[in-house]
Amino acid sequence: MKIAVLGSRGIPNRYGGFEEMAERVCPLWVKAGHEVTVYTVSDHPEKLRALDGVQITHIFNPEKTLGLAGQFIYDYHCIRDARKKDFDLILQLGYTTSGIWSFLWPREKTITNMDGLEHQRAKYKGPLANFLRWSERRAAKRSKLLVADNPMIADYLKKYKTPCTTIAYGAAVVESSNKQLLAEQNLPTENFILHIGRVQPDNHVKEILQAAKQSGITLIAVGDYSTPYGKKLHKEFQDCENIIFPGTIYEKEVVNALRMHCDAYLHGHSAGGTNPALLEAMGCGAFVLAHSNPFNASVLGGLGGLWSSEEELAMMLQNLPDKAVKEEQGKLAQERIKEHFNWPKIAQQYLQAFASIK
């Protein structure tokens, strides 16, 4: 099959979950004998024509000058280009800014990964939330098959007549890390807790910072605090001596070292399905304390702990399990990743989904 992957910023991954998935599964589809093209933003820092046998098509992206409007333009040009080519199948990743162009999607050969429940995110309110509901409906109606990354998302999507299958995100299991990398970054090497994520309300970042402040345990808060909301939180907590704001960290070796050596990984995501950051923490064997919602609970499968408020989280931080319990939990988390969230299995599930509509 000739497969096109649209809807992400492309590969190599320098951005997020969809990009990581594309980088991981597309080479496996190539090895299985398929021809794969991933659409990628023109301003990607790496101007590659191919990666591990995957063809890369760069498309003009005016996002830096036009903001959100630029994403709509990028998505439009992606689908226009894909329509000109003889692809057997188009995998559309998400619908936030591409759903408006769904009338251009070739329905009989479009599969859409519906991502999370975007309209429920706290950052989207009023008319924007209504637009996302409309975009979701359009994407569902213009697709031959829907993909949910979490069973709870699949249950939600049953309201549409379009068939749906559940395929999770994946993560790698990290067996070792270099603690010295943390010292080189002037970061603690032990006795710290960790949060990594986008700084936005539905990720409960404020609650995490407040709970850390109450607990007195050193928190490394990795993320972009230069946004308006981030600046507001940074101003509120910058004088808290036990909270470190290193900004964004893109080096995987450093991020994995943080995950492997933290006393607890704090996960606040509450909207959407299976979050890649949670899987990556589990793949590093981190002890996870996650916001209590059906999505996180289904991924953890009884591991770690779930909290609903900053008071609950602060109490958990003050009563962390001992080293032996955390190590055992870490091993179980990595086994869960190997069994349920490994990339080869996910790549094969997508190929089965592709075959079901051909």
**pLDDT number for residue 240:** 96
**pLDDT number for residue 118:** 56
Distance CA 76, CA 59 (A): 10
Q: For each of the domains in the chain, give its residue range(s) and CATH number, in order of start.
A: 2-170+342-357 (3.40.50.2000), 180-340 (3.40.50.2000)
**Would you state the structure tokens that stand for residue 231, as one six-digit string?**
């600046």
Average pLDDT over residues 312-335: 96
Average pLDDT over residues 154-158: 92
Lowest mean pLDDT among 112-116, 237-241, 260-264: 112-116
Distance CA 199, CA 218 (A): 19
**pLDDT number for residue 125:** 60
95-141 pLDDT tens trace: 988 999 999 999 999 999 998 665 555 455 667 778 888 999 999 99
What's the mean per-residue pLDDT of the chain? 93
CB 152 within 8 A of CB 295: yes
Average pLDDT over residues 11-25: 90
174-213 pLDDT tens trace: 999 999 999 999 999 999 999 999 898 889 999 999 999 9
CB 53 within 8 A of CB 27: yes
Distance CA 93, CA 98 (A): 9
Average pLDDT over residues 316-323: 95
Q: CA geometry: angle at 256 spanning 254 and 258, to 5°?
A: 70
Mind giving me the DSSP string for 297-333? Answer: HHHHTT-SEEESSHHHHHHHHTT---HHHHHHHHHHH
Task: Name the burial class of residue 191, with classes exposed (0-12), middle (13-18) and buried (19+) by CB atoms within 10 angstroms of its CB.
Answer: exposed
Beta pairing, strands 243-247 & 219-222: parallel
**pLDDT number for residue 88:** 97
| pLDDT at residue 25 is higher than 60 | yes
The strand ranges marked E within the chain are 2-6, 35-41, 50-51, 54-59, 89-93, 110-113, 145-148, 164-166, 193-196, 219-222, 243-247, 264-267, 288-291, 305-307
Average pLDDT over residues 166-178: 93
Q: Which of 91, 120, 114, 87 is nearest to 1 (CA)?
A: 87
Lowest mean pLDDT among 47-56, 151-160, 267-276: 267-276
**pLDDT number for residue 115:** 83
Distance CA 1, CA 329 (A): 41
Distance CA 63, CA 86 (A): 28
**pLDDT number for residue 38:** 98
Percent of the chain clearing pLDDT 90 (strictly above): 83
Average pLDDT over residues 276-283: 94
Mind giving me the DSSP string for 36-82? Answer: EEEEEETT-SS--SEETTEEEEEE---HHHHTHHHHHHHHHHHHHHH
**pLDDT number for residue 124:** 55
Lowest mean pLDDT among 44-58, 202-216, 218-232, 260-274: 260-274
**pLDDT number for residue 202:** 86
